[in-house]
Amino acid sequence: MRGEKKPRLVMKFGGTSVADTTRLEGLVVRVRRELEAGYDVAVVVSAMAGETDRLVGLAEGAVRVMDGREYDTLLSTGEQVTASLLAMMLSDRGIPARSWLGWQIPLDTDGRHGRACIEKIGTEGIERRFSEEGMVAVCAGFQGVSDRGRVTTLGRGGSDITAVALSVALGAGRCDIYTDVKGFYTADPRIVPKARVIGEIGYEESLELASSGAKVLQVRSVEMAMRYGVKVRVLSSFEECGGTSLVGEGEGGARMEKQVVTGLAMSTKECRVTLAGVKDVPGVASEVFRPLADRMIDVDMIVQSVSKQDGKTNMTFSVQSEDVDEVEKMLIRDREKFPYEELSIDKGVVKISLVGLGMRSHAGVAQRMFEVLAEKGINILVISTSEIKVSVLIGEDYGELAMRSLHTAFGLDEGE
Ligand code: ADP
Ligand code: ASP
Ligand code: MG
């Protein structure tokens, strides 16, 4: 009977899962199954595989200075195509459905084009159609609307955060993220063939892995899921499997058998920046990093070492490749404020990270990591550690070898 409140479910499908109409046909089956199980369903879709990249390429090839407002309007069209097509197909197969673009929901964001943050989601319209018409809401992921009424986008991979935020706003009991692999793995299965699916993973560990390069979930979406305790599952849209559930610390049975290292990740988007011969006086680090922080540039690993000359220091840090040109310009511009002898930038590096809650109580993980890399003749350029993570920067040619060797050495290979 309509009018009664049913449990709610958000299902998100990524690019490969919506790549063509044959795949969309598979989604219709999955949505129908959940409706029959008694849920009101909101679906979040990405653009078809490769479409967002194609749109980025069009814009970059056409203009020198990008207008963020038009760029976001262009990029958001990918998700509009899939949302409307899927809504059409569902209705045609006897399932009442309506598409919702960001501004129609409305999903309100700030005005930071290209990486907007969600401020509020109005769910009244979707909820009314749930209760009055039993209608499936097919929402375009990755997009919102600013207070100036312009279309915004939420950063690459942003459909994940649309799904998590919508789950919070709708009070959904579950948020199922369907993708092209069978769940959250101990390492990217395309790099480490022996990687295995992690049945249950803590929010904190998944956040560390995602921010270290495991792109299966967008970092901000995990942050939000953790903050609101959203019951996220990562599932395959191609195979029936248990997938991965995100759980809070102490929740979930499988966590009792936890390994010291839960998983590893590689980030290929790193660059190493070194300022050699900087004057070693109080305040110099603040002078170097303040302008970067003001521009919201993320600086990850920082090492300060003694220079051969008295009163001088060397500073090495890593930044994302997309920011490195801007960082270089700023450091050259500010040379008068913190004189240095030489600036060098190395773009041929990757960052490998080991993550595990068990590291809190087990010493020696970093040491074992260094040993394994030494055995393979891999030189470590920069090291950083936190409570549950150890990261190293190494030459990009050694990235895959390091991932596979570490995966084996920490007992993570399938079948062990
Ligand atoms: P979608 O389009 O569904 O959002 P993504 O391409 O964003 O999918 O994310 C899925 C991809 O993430 C996988 O194909 C896989 O290669 C990669 N990946 C990286 N690290 C991991 C990991 N630890 N577990 C699973 N997949 C991972
Ligand atoms: N289509 C967007 C992207 O490729 C958002 C997403 O797929 O999550 O980044
Ligand atoms: Mg993704």
Pocket test for ligand 2, best of 74, 101, 156 (most atoms within 8 A of CB): 156
The ligand 1 atom at the shortest distance from the C-alpha of residue 15 is 2
Q: Name which residue sits closest to atom 17 of ligand 1, judged by CA.
A: 216
Ligand 2 centroid vs 128 CA: distance in angstroms? 28
Q: pLDDT band at residue 408, thresholds of 50, 70 and 90?
A: very high
Q: What residues contact 361, with CB distance under 8 A and at least 6 apart?
A: none
pLDDT of residue 214: 97
215 lines ligand 1 (CB under 6 A): yes
pLDDT surpassing 50 at residue 256 = no
Rounded to two decimals, the pTM is: 0.93
Span 299-351, pLDDT tens digits:
989 988 877 778 899 999 999 998 999 999 999 999 999 999 999 999 999 99
- Amino acid at position 358, single letter: G
Q: Where are the beta strands (DSSP E) in 294-379?
A: 299-306, 312-320, 342-346, 349-355
Q: Are 376 and 401 within 8 A, CB to CB?
A: yes
pLDDT digits (tens, 9 = 90+) for 219-249: 999 999 999 999 999 999 999 999 999 999 7
**Measuring from atom 6 of ligand 2, which residue has the nearest CA?**
157
**Ligand 3 centroid distance, CA of 389 (Å):** 23
Instruction: Kindly identify the ligand whose nearest atom is closest to the C-alpha of 353.
Output: 1
pLDDT at position 253, please? 56
Helices (H), 203-347: 203-211, 219-228, 284-294, 321-333
**Closest Cα partner for 315 from 338, 348, 297, 291?**
338
* Domain spanning 264-409, CATH class: alpha beta
The span from the CA of 221 to the CA of 65, in Å, is: 30
How far, in Å, from the CA of 15 to the mean position of ligand 2? 7
- The answer to whether residue 252 scores a pLDDT higher than 70 is no
Structure-block tokens of residue 1: 């009977």
Terminal-residue alpha carbon distance, the chain: 51
Report the nearest-CA residue for atom 11 of ligand 1.
216
Length of the chain in terms of residues written: 416
pLDDT in tens, 188-199: 999 999 999 999
User: How large is the average pLDDT for residues 152-159?
Assistant: 97
CA distances to 151, 167, 201 from 251, rounded to whole Å, are 39, 20, 10
Q: What are the residue boundaries of the structural domains of the chain, listed by start?
A: 8-180, 264-409
Q: Is 399 in the pocket of ligand 1 (CB under 6 A)?
A: no
Q: What is the pLDDT of residues 158-198, one digit of tens each?
A: 999 999 999 999 999 999 999 999 999 999 999 999 999 99
CATH of 8-180, one of 3.50.50.60, 3.40.50.1000, 3.40.1160.10, 3.90.930.12: 3.40.1160.10
Listed in order, strand segments (DSSP E) in 321-375 are 342-346, 349-355
Average pLDDT, rounded, for the chain: 94
Tokens of 112: 């930071």
15 lines ligand 1 (CB under 6 A): yes
Q: Do domains 8-180 and 264-409 have the same CATH topology?
A: no
47-99 confidence digits (pLDDT tens): 999 999 999 999 999 999 999 999 999 999 999 999 999 999 999 999 999 99
